[in-house]
């Protein structure tokens, strides 16, 4: 009797687990820093981003002064993550990252301006 009851319970638990909604790749944008103990070195994890942001941000950061190393990777195609490793000197990694992002935003403004000028010329 007891054994059959416990058996039923096991089945119930499994069913409950099966019935839980599986959340697949919800678009939850955001960024976090992995093991944030060192102010100069760290890995930024971007959620729901890919090469579009990764490569251009890597390019900008690698060309900033005070950056010792910068590289990015997409760990797995079914994990919606982008890892960006940043190692800096003299300035904190958060500041350099923020400067890099602002720089990208300025680039957008410049391209938009020049593109609109070109459209008017034509």
Partner 1 sequence: MDQHKLQLKEDQILKPFKQEKFNIKQFQRELEINILSKTDDKIVFEMINIDAPIANSLRRIMIAEIPTMAIHKVQVIQNTSIIPDEVLAHRLGLIPIIADPLQFIEKDDQEEYNELNSIDFTLVAKCEKKPNCRQDDPIENQYTNTTVYSSSLIWQPKGQQAKQFANNPIRPVHSNIIIAKLRENQELNLRLICEKGVGKRHAKWSPVCTAFYKLMPSIIIKNKLDTQRQEKLESLCPMKVFGIKGNQIKVINPRNCTTCRECIREANGFDKDIELNKIDNHFIFSIESVGQYEPKDIMLQAIEVFRSKVQLYIKE
Q: Which residues bind partner 1 (CB under 8 A)?
A: 29, 31, 46, 49-53, 55-56, 58-60, 62-63, 94, 97-98, 101-112, 114-119, 121-122
Q: How far is the CB of 85 from partner 1 (least distance, A)?
A: 16
Would you give the end-to-end CA distance of the chain in angstroms? 87
Q: How far is the CB of 65 from partner 1 (least distance, A)?
A: 10
Considering the complex, state which of residue 63 and residue 73 has its C-beta at the smaller distance from partner 1: 63
- What count of other Cβ atoms lies within 10 Å of the Cβ of residue 34? 10
Q: How far is the CB of 3 from partner 1 (least distance, A)?
A: 42
B/e letters for 40-52, b = 16+ CB within 10 Å, e = fewer, are: eebbbbbbebeee
Considering the complex, state which of residue 4 and residue 29 has its C-beta at the smaller distance from partner 1: 29
DSSP string, 75-112: --TTS-EEEEEEEESSS-HHHHHHHHHHHHHHHHHHHH
Considering the complex, state which of residue 6 and residue 55 has its C-beta at the smaller distance from partner 1: 55
Q: How far is the CB of 67 from partner 1 (least distance, A)?
A: 11
């Amino acid at each position: 009797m007891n054994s059959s009851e416990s058996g039923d319970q096991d089945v119930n638990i499994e069913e409950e687990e099966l019935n839980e909604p599986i959340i697949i790749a919800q678009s939850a944008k955001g960024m976090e820093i992995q093991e944030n103990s060192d102010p100069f070195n760290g890995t930024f994890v971007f959620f729901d981003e890919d090469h579009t942001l990764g490569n251009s941000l890597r390019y900008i950061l690698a060309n900033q002064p005070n950056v010792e190393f910068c590289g990015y990777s997409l760990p797995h195609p079914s994990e919606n993550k982008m890892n960006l490793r940043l190692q800096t000197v003299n300035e904190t990694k958060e500041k350099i990252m923020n400067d890099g992002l602002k720089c990208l935003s300025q680039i957008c403004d410049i391209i938009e301006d020049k593109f609109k000028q070109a459209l008017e010329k034509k």
